[in-house]
Amino acid sequence: MALDASNGFVGASTVADLADGALPIFDVERVQLQFSIAADFVAAQVANNVLILALSNGRILRIDLNRPEDIDDIDLPKKPSEVGVIRRMFLDPTASHLIVCTALGENYYLHSQSRQPRPLARLRGVAIESISWNPALPTASTREILIGASDGNVYEGYIETSTEFYRKEDKYLKLLQKLPDGPITGLWADALPGRADMRRVIISTQNRLFHWVGKVGRGHDGSASIYSKLFEAEQPIIHELPRTSATAASALAISPDPPDVSKFKEDNPPERAFAWLSSHGVYHGKLLIDPATSNLGTKVFADSKLVPRSQLATPEAAAAGRRQASTEYIDAIALTQWHVVCLVGGRIVAANQLTGATVYDQVILDHGLKAIGLCVDIQKNTFWLFTSSEIFEIVVRDEDRDIWKIMLKLQKFDQALQHAHTPAQRDAIAIASGDHLVGKGLYSEAAGVYGKSSKPFEEVALCFIDNNQPDALRKYLLTKLSTFKKSSAMQRIMIASWLVEIFMAKLNSLDDTIITGAELSETLNPTQTKEQLDTVRSEYHEFINKHKSDLDRKTVYDVISSHGREEELLFYANAVNDYNFVLSYWVQRERWSEALNVLKRQTDADVFYRYSSVLMTHAAAELIDILMRQNNLKPRNLIPALLEYERNFKGALAQNQAIRYLQYVVNQLGSADSAVHNTLVSMYAAHPSRDESALLAYLESQGDEPRFDPDFALRLCIQHHRVLSCAHIYTSMGQYVQAVDLALAHGEVGLASIIANRPMSNPPLRKKLWLAVARKVISQSNGIKTAIEFLRSCDLLKIEDLIPFFPDFVVIDDFKEEICAALEDYSRNIDGLRREMDESSQTAANIKVDIAALEHRYAIVEPGEKCYSCGLPLLSRQFFVFPCQHAFHSDCLGRRVLEQAGPVKAKRIRECQVQVSKGLVSGARREAMVAELDSLVASACILCSDYAIRRINEPFVKEDEDKSEWAL
């Protein structure tokens, strides 16, 4: 099959839509058949894109609409003359199960996987009018289904396909209910969500509509009936119509699955609608699912409404009068998501379910042509009209395009918003919803709606201001602020600043109410007012955190300060990381603990530098604790604050927080900054305590390469009379004489002695230092005995060194032993010197003998001996012979020496050679230069002296030599 768009029908009611460029909601398209048949259609069904056609000759055509070229041609087991023509067909929504009913009461079952219909023995003679398939939609078998007959009986059956001849397809058939109203024109059963054992059953007859809700039994693969329990235990809710016509058509229609059915969960199925066709018209409503009790039908029928048959009459009949219009019955109905589609004679009429207004009315069938069915594909949401020779598809396009307008007129704003597709539609809904809420006095609810609409800002703001609704205004501004883009910086800043003012006014109002103990309104007591205060403050905090980038700092500070809201002011400053403001705020109020709490959370070093001076003065210990936890500070920048603290500090050295911090920087952080070390030295030296242990320990820890300035430290120590420290600094600078003099000047003989012993590598200096100490000791001692004891403590001084320091009149008996010992030492030294002189004389005599022997030394040169450099006879020209017996021509030797000599020596050799060869010098000067040249050239043999050692890296064979001579 294929769709022939040229054969479509457009209703007159949609001309306006077409004029606006929009396609009509409904259209009817004739399907062009791609096959020829020799019989008329007598019945048709569509489900899951599968079309079933029954022909008057008893054949059944099964066509897959996805592949219309594939057609299954199926015959009934018996000829039409034996069972009658096919009267009805029932196809389940999955297109898996087909039940065929003939005019003579024969019923057949055909599964989608089979081509052979099987007779239903238990249903023989039952004139089936309607079937309700199992809500679970099984495909292997029908499971439990409800069957309505023309005699008013309602059966429960279970049908499955079987290949065994003796086994019946219908496992069981049980009569559930007998209604005296005539044929069962419609059946529907569904499961209520969340209750697997609860079912709803709807049954329609010619003049009554029944609604059951109740529990069903547990069946086990068709072993027993499940609906018997429901029909036995529950009574139906009945909707009855008076004075119905027996000739009018009656049917029950259920809306198909929505297009987005996949979005729905199993426990939240899509909402369906029902429509009951009777002689009065179309009675329709929602299939509600709550409450899941037997009274659910009462609520369903109460919310349902009737579309009168006269409303669907042709314009001509309506114009002729109500009597003529009432004679035109509706032949069939179908439900879409939002409309009721009716077949009235040869016309297709569509009416909106919400308003009852006709949106489509078009003549489709020629005069005298009668339709055989109006079918709905529940799963695929398609709609079909069949005649005896033609097939039409009712096409639905954008069915919910105007639903939002209808919902808006009905003031169902939430539902209207759900069905709005464009921003303009949503905006119109928001404006109308806000106006409606304002009219009802619901300003707070209206504020949230207005904030998302395009209604003029000043109009909405003035509305809330004129009606004294600051809370609604605050909510509106918050909502409006969230709708502006980041690029709308000016609008965002203005609204955000206004909101700050509104928040402050609201908080002040609530505070005043709490303080005075009065009630804010008739509905809020003071306790509730405090809760509201907390709520508003939380909203303010949330607003600041979210929109701090939209606020101007100076404006916000001015606004909040004008209201005296300290907590809110500090919260904003913290939110925008303006810690300078927070710290200055607390410092100005001398709230040191609060300032330190803020400082603990900082990482910006400049903040510490800026506030360290004032905080060191008032909370030194706590500040130092914070500073010691920071690793990004430059201690040099904190020195002014430390010095200011030191200037006013009067406590013990161990309690000095500035020294504590500097010690941490020096010892723990390993700072090499001389400014830090000099500051620490100055604090140690300037402290009024006379104890130098701390300063001396620091100086000693610095070692031989101190980080402080020794001259600066020395001046400070001298200024504050730190003798031990001065002596240490002098010693570290190598100024031992000054160190000893300083110690002796302050009477520190012991210290001077220690210093005098330190230059161990310089005995003369050490002796000089000890002599200075000895002079001081002898000058201070009252007797010779003290000087003698001091002499024994030093290994450098002798008694004769100390004698000049004694007074002119001293009794020699007091140090006779020391003088004797000194004389004995002199005697031993004289003997040693005599022996050394004798040895030296003997050595000199031996050297003279060796020199005399050198004058007679000679070397024998054989007549055929060659030069070790060029290989030519040695006696051919001037030559040199070395003690190692190597001999060279003088020019060959000079050339080799020039190659290996250093640049200075080579330069001098060339100068001498030029002056001698060119005769630039003469006489004694020439002889001296020749001697110098000989000494330079012939100072050592080039083959076995240092020259040879330096040539160790040279190859044996040079690049310009013939390598064949080395071949083996």
Residue 466 CA from chain centroid, whole number: 46
Q: Is residue 891 domain-shared with residue 942, that is, in the same domain?
A: yes
**Rounded distance, CA 802 to CA 781, Å?**
13
Which one-letter amino acid corresponds to residue 787? A
What angle (nearest 5°) sits at the alpha carbon of residue 290, between those of residues 285 and 292? 115
Is residue 901 situated within a structural domain?
Answer: yes
Q: What is the pLDDT of residues 661-715, one digit of tens each?
A: 888 888 888 888 888 888 888 888 888 787 788 887 888 888 777 888 888 888 8
Which residues are registered as beta bridge partners of 155? 147, 175
822 and 738 assigned to the same domain: yes
Tell whether 832 and 739 lie within a shared domain.
yes
At 458-476, the pLDDT tens digits run: 999 999 899 999 989 998 9
What residue type is 785 in one-letter code? K
Whether residues 827 and 881 share a domain: the answer is no
Distance between CA atoms of residues 807 and 397, nearest Å: 136
Number of domains in the chain: 2
Does residue 95 surpass a pLDDT of 90? yes
Q: Are residues 823 and 885 in the same domain?
A: no
**Residue 179 identity:** L
Do residues 893 and 948 share a domain? yes
* Residue 376 clears pLDDT 90, i.e. is over it: yes
pLDDT of residue 783: 53
With a cut of 60, say whether residue 318 has pLDDT above it.
Answer: no
Among residues 817, 837, 857, the one where a domain terminates is 837
Query: How far apart, in whole angstroms, are the C-alpha atoms of residue 879 and residue 877?
Result: 6
On whether residue 960 sits in a domain, the answer given is: no
481-524 pLDDT, tens digit per residue, is 888 888 888 999 999 999 999 999 888 888 888 877 654 445 55
Tell me: do 738 and 827 sit in the same domain.
yes
Where does a domain end: 837, 862, 894? 837
Instruction: State the angle between helix axes of 749-756 and 723-732 in degrees (0 to 180), rounded to the nearest 10.
Output: 10
Tell me: do 770 and 825 sit in the same domain: yes
What is residue 33's DSSP assignment? P
Q: Report residue 950 as tokens.
A: 């330096």
Distance CA 352, CA 339 (A): 4
Tell whether 824 and 760 lie within a shared domain. yes
| Cα–Cα distance for residue pair 897/947, rounded to 1 Å | 8
Q: Is residue 414 in some structural domain?
A: no
Which uninterrupted H or E stretch holds 172? strand 170-178
Closest residue by Cα to residue 807 from 826, 832, 827, 779: 779
Q: Residue 278 — very low, low, confident or very high, per pLDDT cuts 50/70/90?
A: very high
Task: Spell out the residues 6+ positions from residue 504 whose beta carbon is closer than 8 angstroms to its own.
Answer: 559, 560, 563, 565, 568
User: And the tokens for 337?
Assistant: 């998501």
The last residue of one of the domains, among 788, 812, 837, is: 837
Phi then psi dihedrals of residue 377, to 5 deg: -90, 100
- Which helix (H) or strand (E) covers residue 596, if one does? helix 592-600
Query: Domain for residue 405, yes or no?
Result: no
Instruction: Lowest mean pLDDT of 712-721, 852-861, 900-909, name the range.
Output: 852-861
Least confident of 212-226, 363-377, 536-550, 792-806: 792-806
Compute how many other C-beta atoms are within 10 angstroms of the C-beta atom of residue 708. Answer: 22
DSSP classification of residue 347: E
Could you tell me the residue range of the domain that residue 789 belongs to?
734-837
Confirm whether 880 is domain-assigned: yes
pLDDT above 50 (res 900): yes
Q: According to DSSP H, which parts of 376-469 are helical?
A: 403-409, 413-418, 423-439, 443-450, 457-466
Q: Is residue 922 part of a domain?
A: yes
Within a domain: residue 63?
no
Residue 606 in any domain: the answer is no
Residue 313 identity: A
Same domain, 889 and 830: no
Residue 901 neighbours by CB under 8 Å, 6+ apart:
909
**Where does the pLDDT of residue 798 fall: very low under 50, low under 70, confident under 90, or very high at 90 and above?**
low
pLDDT digits 0-9 by tens, 866-893: 888 888 888 888 888 887 888 888 888 8
